[in-house]
Copies of this chain bind each other. A is one copy, B any other.
Amino acid sequence: MTTPLEKARKDPESMKARILTVARRIFGEYGFHGTTTRMIAQQVGIDISTLHYHWGGKKDLYEAVVVDINKDLGQQLIETEKAIHGLPLTERLEIGIDRMTDYLFANPDISNMILFRYFGKTRYEGNADFSVPEFTADIARSMGLARDKRNVPPETMMKVLAVMNSIHAFIAGENFFCPMVKVDRKRYIALVKETLKFVHIPAFTLNETR
């Protein structure tokens, strides 16, 4: 059996998939309440009723976006883990940061949506949620900072969160920080990687060698 979301992902040209893609971007930019179904429909170039026909209501579409993003991010984490498996800690961090940064700069909706979920409340009783807690524990284990993902010490969780938060913040805040630092986009991306590595790698390696 295939869920509606899976069906939509199979054919990126399908109306359902096109709506989902645009919804991801707009929800990420404006948040749940800042987004109107009309904005999404207009961007896709369709009528609102077509949007409702495919996805039901605004909340349903929003929750589909959450599930979609969870899936993409989870997949990316798995691939990243494969790429760094078995390497020494410093290299794991360097390559991991590089890959995740590149991926999220190419998919800023993900960082945007996750940050909205962290900090903002919604007026409706939402059920869908991001898998950030599981992902965070997974990263800790993948980095060799914990054996069992069910039992990661709080100090380690906090350090992993610090890294992930830094990445998301620099990605989602690009439009704000880029002019502030007075560099172009390309230089900004390089600076983000540089800064992340320079700031966070010592924090993990110092801990290990003690």
Contacts and interface: CB of A to CB of B under 8 A. Distances in A.
Interface residues of A, number: 51
Given A172-B118, A202-B206, A195 B158 contact: yes
Nearest to A32: B34
A103 interface: no
* Count of this chain's copies in the oligomeric assembly: 2
A158 B33 contact: no
A162 B166 contact: yes
Contacts of A199: 159, 162, 199-200, 203
Contact of A34 (B112, B122, B202, B206): B122
A121 B158 contact: no
By Cβ-Cβ distance, the 8 closest A-B pairs, closest first, are A33-B34, A165-B169, A33-B33, A158-B195, A199-B203, A119-B172, A118-B173, A202-B202
